[in-house]
Amino acid sequence: MEARFNYIANPFTGKLVKHFMAMGKVMKDSPLPAATQELVSLRVSQINGCAVCIDMHTKEAAHAGESSVRLNLVAAWREATVFTEAERAALELAEQGTRVADAAGGVSDEIWANAVKHYDEDQLGALVALIALMNMVNRLNVITQQPAGAYQPGQFA
């Protein structure tokens, strides 16, 4: 598969990508646990069908020591016993935050209250921003058909 558009090489969209990368750096340095960031990024990307992001976040998580069992079970996290209650709350928020068009009213009060039980305000802010950022990047990649498989851990560090 060949990408429809190289938004990194284009002068206008190249500037945007630099800002997206800066946002990613802020996210990495946030108080939200790194494992939670990768699990949420992977789940949002699975829902959106963003192969290049699935490739990236699976490899980054594995490189950081995440187990293959947990990575393989992200898509079925509700039935899996390998995630903490906090991770489950983050994954549930990520799903509802990604599927806003499918859920009248967006994220339910119940899902938000569950996330609040596990994360402080800074972590919640980071979690919401990560969900929004991943949805934006996923859409860019899906629209332009960015190919997956060649990502190397740390490639964009």
Over residues 55-74, the pLDDT tens digits come to 999 999 999 999 999 999 99
| pTM, two decimal places | 0.94
Using CA atoms, how far apart are residues 78 and 20, in angstroms rounded to an integer? Answer: 30
Phi-psi region of 107 (alpha: psi -120 to 50; beta: other; left: phi over 0): beta
Using CA atoms, how far apart are residues 77 and 8, in angstroms rounded to an integer? Answer: 34
Domains by residue range for the chain, with CATH = 11-143 (1.20.1290.10)
Flag whether pLDDT at 154 surpasses 90: no
Q: pLDDT digits over 20-36, tens only?
A: 889 989 999 999 999 99
Flag whether pLDDT at 156 surpasses 80: no
pLDDT on residue 146: 93
- 141 closest CA partner among 19, 15, 41, 48: 48
Q: pLDDT digits over 100-150, tens only?
A: 888 767 899 999 999 999 999 999 999 999 999 999 999 999 999 999 988
pLDDT on residue 149: 86
Using CA atoms, how far apart are residues 90 and 112, in angstroms rounded to an integer? Answer: 9
Using CA atoms, how far apart are residues 63 and 71, in angstroms rounded to an integer? Answer: 12
